[in-house]
A = this chain, B = another copy of it.
Amino acid sequence: MGKQQKNAISPSRAKDYPEWYQQVIKASDMAEQSPVRGCMVIKPWGYTLWENIVARMDRMFKETGVKNAYFPLFIPLNFLEKEAEHVEGFAKECAVVTHHRLEKGNDGGLVPGGRLTEPLVVRPTSETIIGDSFSKWVKSYRDLPLLINQWANVVRWEMRTRLFLRTSEFLWQEGHTAHATDTEAIERTEQMLKVYVRMVEENLAIPVIKGRKTAAERFPGAVDTLCIEAMMQDRKALQAGTSHFLGQNFAKASNIRFQTENETEEFAWTTSWGSSTRLIGGLIMTHGDDDGVIMPPRVAPAHVVLLPIFRKPDERRKVMDYVNSLADSLRDVTYAGRDLVVEVDDREIGGARGWEWIKKGIPIRAEIGPRDMAKDCVFMARRDRPHREKTAIKREAFISQLPDMLEDMQKQLFQRACGFRDQHTRNVDDQKDFYDWFTPKNPKKPEIHGGFALSHWCGDQACESKIKADLNVTIRCILLDTQIETGACICCGKPSDKRVIFAKAY
């Protein structure tokens, strides 16, 4: 890390975005590939971020009356088969347990033994197994609404994996609710989408667009899938959360019936909604720069790192006393509902030390040496500013201004991301323009293209498929907050009454 080096991550985003993403994760020490195909190891710096996301989201769920519970990891094959579209959607990516012990094989090595009468599927999602419980818990309209969430690991066998974005095992939450009326279930579907919007925009500082999936992109078995979509810095879309209105499909499959106030018997109306460790991938790709991750302060694994500087051995104790006392004072400061998390890094490894924290994306770095101490100052830098931009600030001012600095940084990150997205989103009404918008100009950088196109679509699945086949571009969503506007389908030219978002996607 000599002075000639301009940025910590190589390649840069502009040069090779997918490789930049891998290198950023490696440099931040957030996660790594495991020896198990497609599974990841989430390291402490990445896992603490996840814990902070979980804590905030969990509180938001509970504020809406949701309670947590836990259901089995394994789903009997016949459960999955109860909903035809559902099993069809997940059959190709299921990890299947067929045996319940290991025994000595013919060559002396261990082989699977004790074959199960019925194979068990490691849950890819839990509608069917939770539906079974709901069918026992719901007897009367008095038992409704039933509002349950589960924090769990799920497995979807993936052939091409990328850390956080697409892994065979990932961590997530899945909410499942049952209601007496369709109206109430639809309201809950929309309510949870709003919770995701608030969570992702206010805490992860990622701007999102609220929309509805087309039939082709819907959750297998759902009547309606609402979603939030974010733009990454390669202008591709990332789905950051989904909320499904399941109608009575799963209630019928799982036999969730209740007695109404009028003593008739009806199937319940259900919803499900989920978000996952994928959000971390979205955070990296929204805020990261050519020096690595930038952690939004509200969910950052730590807020501040203190970097003591001592050139002579006899300075060490004096500087460390000062630094430790400062760390203690900072830990008494509250920001966004939690005590500041302060790291003290006293390793004597030269310039590499500061760079490590830049790459980890810690919001604030502060150097403290004998000269700073003499002036009762720290020499600080903000991660969202160029890394050479450092400011001397009085110790007391540093302590008292930190919450405001962090909140300013949180807002700046959000504004910057909004600006980027708006810059790369436009109405496209001409078919040639549309194809042009999504065609890379430089064949060496196949990922660079226009961004989001707001274009008219007639509603025909054939048009949707043609565009996907031609450009690998999909309808991310039909906007919820849009106005009726007359236009012509970008594919076939037939009349359309509103625009949808077309984009390449993760």
Binding site for B on A (CB under 8 A): 32, 34-36, 39-44, 47-48, 50-51, 67-77, 79-81, 87, 91-103, 109-112, 114, 119-122, 129, 132-133, 136, 142, 148, 152-153, 155, 157, 169, 171, 347
A153 to B157, CA, bound (A): 19
- A72 contacts B39, C-beta separation under 8 Å: yes
Q: Which residue of B76, B95, B98, B136 contacts A36 across the interface (Cβ within 8 Å)?
A: B76
Instruction: List chain B residues, Cβ under 8 A from A102.
Output: 77, 80, 87, 91-92, 94, 96, 121
- A133 contacts B69, C-beta separation under 8 Å: no
Q: What is the copy number of this chain in the assembly?
A: 2
A465 to B68, CA, bound (A): 44
Given contacts A40-B72, A91-B103, A100-B157, list 12 more A-B pairs with CB under 8 A: A35-B129, A36-B75, A39-B72, A39-B74, A47-B69, A87-B110, A92-B102, A94-B101, A95-B120, A98-B112, A112-B119, A152-B153
- A100 contacts B110, C-beta separation under 8 Å: no
Instruction: List chain B residues, Cβ under 8 A from A40.
Output: 72
- Looking across the interface, which residue of chain B has its beta carbon closest to that of A109? B81
Can you sample 27 A-B contacts with CB below 8 Å?
A32-B136, A34-B132, A34-B133, A36-B120, A39-B72, A40-B72, A42-B69, A43-B69, A44-B68, A44-B69, A47-B67, A47-B68, A47-B70, A70-B171, A72-B169, A73-B153, A81-B110, A91-B102, A92-B102, A93-B101, A94-B99, A95-B97, A96-B97, A96-B112, A112-B119, A142-B347, A152-B153
Query: Would A155 and B73 be within 8 Å (CB), given that A87-B110, A96-B100 are in contact?
Result: yes
A95 to B114, CA, bound (A): 10
- A41 contacts B71, C-beta separation under 8 Å: yes
- Looking across the interface, which residue of chain B has its beta carbon closest to that of A142? B347
Q: Which residue of B99, B142, B169 contacts A96 across the interface (Cβ within 8 Å)?
A: B99
- B96 contacts A98, C-beta separation under 8 Å: yes
| A92, A96, A347: most-surrounded residue (chain B CB, <10 A) | A96
Nearest CB on B from A352, distance (A): 13
A109 to B76, CA, bound (A): 13
Query: Would A34 and B129 be within 8 Å (CB), given that A70-B41, A97-B95 are in contact?
Result: yes
A81 to B104, CA, bound (A): 12
